[in-house]
Amino acid sequence: MTDPASPRPLALVTGASSGIGYQLALLFAINGFDLIATGRSEKTDKAAADLAAHGTDVVPVRADLATRDGVETVWNAVEKTGRPLDAAVLNAGRSIGGGFLDTDLDDELSLIDLNVTSVVHLAKHVARHMAANGKGRILITSSLSATLPTPYETVYGPSRAFTRMFALGLREELKEHGVSVTTLMPGATDSDFHARAGMNNTTFGAGMKKNSRKDVARQGFLALMNGQAEVVGGDAATRRTAWKNRFLPETLKAARHARSAKPRD
Ligand SMILES: NC(=O)c1ccc[n+]([C@@H]2O[C@H](COP(=O)([O-])OP(=O)(O)OC[C@H]3O[C@@H](n4cnc5c(N)ncnc54)[C@H](OP(=O)(O)O)[C@@H]3O)[C@@H](O)[C@H]2O)c1
C-alpha cells in the first residue's frame, strides 16, 4: 500500500525484479520516489522488499506482461494508489536466441506480445494519465540491437527497433502536454538476459565482457531526469558502436551479428 496523500513522487518500473530494471528501481528509491515494481516471477517480492529497505513505499506487482490481462493488472495497481504517476519505466523484455528454423513460433509471438504489444498497451494508459496531469517522464528500454538486423535472435532486434521508433514518435506528440519520453539503448549488459535467451553457447555467453547494469541504469535514469530523447547504455566502446552503426550497411551489420549470435555446435 502507498499513502494516497503522500507528497512523495511515484514511479512505475516494469521488469524491476532483476537486471537493469532492478537497478533503475533502486535509483528511484534512493532519489525519494515511491514505487510500483513489477516482474513476472517470485523474485518480484524479494526485489520489492530490498527496495523498501531504502525507506520507500513499494507495491510489488506480479503479472505476465505478454498478456492483456497482465498489463491491465499492472495499470490497475497504479490507479489503486490514487496518486499521480510521475515517472514510468517500460523496461520488461526478453530475447530468444537460435536459428529461426529451429525456434518456437509461439515463443516468438509471445516475445512480440511482451516487447512490442505490452509497451503500446501500457504506454496508452501512462500517456493519457500523465497528459491529463500536464506532467510526467517516461523511459522506454530499447537496445543497441535497434540499430541493426539481429540474425540468430531475428525477432528480438526488430522488436527493439519498434520500441525505439515508438518512443521517439511518442516523445514528439507528448511534448506539448508536458510529458517527456526518453529511450534507453543498452549494449550487451551483465544481467540474466542472454542466459534466459538461451545464448550461453554464443559470443554473448558467460565469457563476454559486458556493460555494468548499474552503469546502464544510471545513464538511463540521468537521461530521463534531463529529458533527453535517447541515451546509449554502456561504455565508450558501446557508444562508438552505436555511432558507427548509423553509417554501416544493414547487410554488413547483419553478417557481423550473425558471427556473434550463431550458436556454436
Ligand atoms: N542485458 C542486455 O544485454 C540488454 C541489452 C539491450 C537491451 N536490453 C533490454 O533491457 C531490458 C531489461 O533486460 P535485462 O537485461 O535487465 O534482463 P533480465 O535481467 O532478464 O530482466 C528482465 C526483466 O523483465 C521481466 N520479464 C520478463 N518476461 C516478462 C513477462 N512475460 N512479463 C513480465 N515481466 C517479464 C523479468 O521478470 P522476472 O525476472 O520476474 O521473470 C525481469 O524483471 C529488456 O527490455 C531488454 O530488451 C538488455
Digit-coded pLDDT (tens) for 32-54: 999 999 999 999 999 999 999 99
Interval 252-257 mean pLDDT: 98
pLDDT, one tens digit per residue, over 153-168 is: 999 999 999 999 999 9
Determine the CATH number of domain 10-261.
3.40.50.720
| Cα 40 from Cα 226, distance rounded (Å) | 30
Q: Is 254 exposed, middle or buried (0-12, 13-18, 19+ CB in 10 A)?
A: middle
Q: Is 19 in the pocket of ligand 1 (CB under 6 A)?
A: yes
115 CA to centre of ligand 1 in angstroms: 9
pLDDT value, residue 1: 63
What are the Cα distances from residue 89, in Å, to 103, 184, 221? 29, 10, 10
**Residues 245, 147 contacting (CB under 8 angstroms):** yes
What pLDDT band is residue 5 in, cutting at 50, 70 and 90? Answer: confident
What is the pairing mode between strands 136-141 and 179-186? Answer: parallel
Q: Tens of pLDDT along 126-135?
A: 999 999 999 9
Return the residue matching grid coordinates 552503426. 245
For the segment 195-202, the average pLDDT, to the nearest whole number, is 96
How many Å lie between the centroid of ligand 1 and the Cα of residue 128? 25
Sequence ranges of the domains in the chain: 10-261
Chain segment 65-122, per-residue pLDDT in tens: 999 999 999 999 999 999 999 999 999 999 999 999 999 999 999 999 999 999 999 9
